[in-house]
Structure 1
Amino acid sequence: MENRLRRIARIVPILAATICLGVAGVLVVAVEATSALAVEKPVPMEKNPPGDIPDTQVFIDYAAPQGFTLKVPEGWARSDRADGASFVDKFDGVVVSVAKADAAPTVAAAKTTYVPELEKAERAVTVSSVKAEALPAGAAIRIVYSTNSELNPVTNKQVRLENERYLFFKDGKLVTLEFYAPKGADNVDQWQLMSQSFRWK
């Protein structure tokens, strides 16, 4: 988990910097990843994947010092960082990160700059969609993709994860909201609840 959060922290500033370059009219070319992560193969999805958030799950309000609020699952382990926070329960997680940016991200910028950086930072990334979303907090970019998890230090096994990231922008702030769980887990309603609960303060 700690390694995963470090990778997320690297991607957010890179996208913010790319947005600045794009506004200035500078062409940014994605460099092909050469790390071992780039050639890792996707692991099979679990037949009976764990990670469903119960329908009875209670959600509470989280007010971030960086200037936004969000509903998060009650009882999940919370870790605060200078750029955001994470909430984790077993195989499931919610991560929010904040960075500076000069302009709102676009679908084109996400596809040409953010996704390549995501593919270098995460394991066996398969992106299924990059779309604009209209949410109560305003326009956002939604990226849906799957990855391999980190190796379990005890079993030395990995699971296939499904992920969603939302990119929100306002007044020079870029917030990345990420959800992840074992692929096949049924968390559609819960992830929708949390993404729609995001508000700027």
Structure 2
Amino acid sequence: MKILFRKTTGVLPALAVAACLGTAAALVAVPGGLPASAAEKPVQQEKNPPGDIPDTQVFIDYTSPDGFTLKVPEGWARSDRADGASFVDKLDGVVVSVSKADAAPTVDSAKADYVVKLEAAGRAVRVSAVKQVKLPAGTAIRIVYTSNSEPNAVTNRQVRLENERYLYFKDGKLVALELYAPKGADNVDQWQLMSNSFRWK
């Protein structure tokens, strides 16, 4: 059975996924063409943050034409992008982005290149961890950080987000999986399910 997704105009995180990783890496512009401010100050965390993915949430398989599969929450609004896809529900989101890379990222290379660009282009990005992790799809790099959301188009209000980004590499192809939600939301199990579900085809 073919699953249809709703198109979205929801808020995406301040930073779009990196176009590539390596000496020629560059972060793409924020959705909507508005530049992110590296000098922006972190907004306060919500006292009772929304964004918990329900324990009853159903996950379905997303199959990318770029050669991988991933479980994503059923019913979240999907937007196809030139380099991947995003899935959004209110202030929660999942973004997958594909680019070319000469070699698999390491903790050192991610800190020296990827994280530097992440902090420079994002909205008040604060990276707390960069680690190598072993997942069913193989070794990946996990980056944990907080950032501000894009301002709401009507109220100009922002929320503080927590983010996890996983970098998967195979045969010259780099896939970045970004998971985000309001800081303080409890999505540990659901994020682990999605990052563990990634498979190369």
Matched, 1:171 2:171: yes
- Provide structure 1 residue ranges, at least 5 long, that are not aligned to the other structure: 20-34
TM-score w.r.t. length of structure 1: 0.86
- The 1:159–1:41 alpha-carbon spacing in structure 2 relative to 1, beyond 3 Å, is same
Q: What's 2:56 paired with?
A: 56
Where 1:130 maps in the other structure, the secondary structure is strand
Q: What's 1:32 paired with?
A: none
Where 1:124 maps in the other structure, the secondary structure is coil
Q: What's 2:77 paired with?
A: 77
Larger CA deviation: 139-148 vs 154-163: 154-163
Matched, 1:12 2:19: yes
8 A Cα contact 1:149 1:160, kept in partner: yes
Q: 1:86-165 counterparts in 2 under 5 A? A: 86-165=86-165
Q: CA deviation at 1:17?
A: 4.1
8 A Cα contact 2:168 2:176, kept in partner: yes
Q: Hey, what's the Cα distance between the residues in 1 that align with 2:156 and 2:91?
A: 15
8 A Cα contact 2:123 2:148, kept in partner: yes
Q: Hey, what's the Cα distance between the residues in 2 that align with 1:6 and 1:56?
A: 28
Q: Deviations over 1:21-70 (max 9, x none)?
A: xxxxxxxxxxxxxx871211100100000000000000000110000000
2:16 partner letter: I
- The 1:36–1:176 alpha-carbon spacing in structure 2 relative to 1, beyond 3 Å, is closer
- Provide structure 2 residue ranges, at least 5 long, that are not aligned to the other structure: 1-8, 26-34
Percentage identity across aligned positions? 73
Q: Deviations over 1:76-134 (max 9, x none)?
A: 00111221100000000000000011110010011011011101221001100000000
2:69 partner letter: T
Q: CA deviation at 1:12?
A: 2.9
8 A Cα contact 1:12 1:176, kept in partner: no
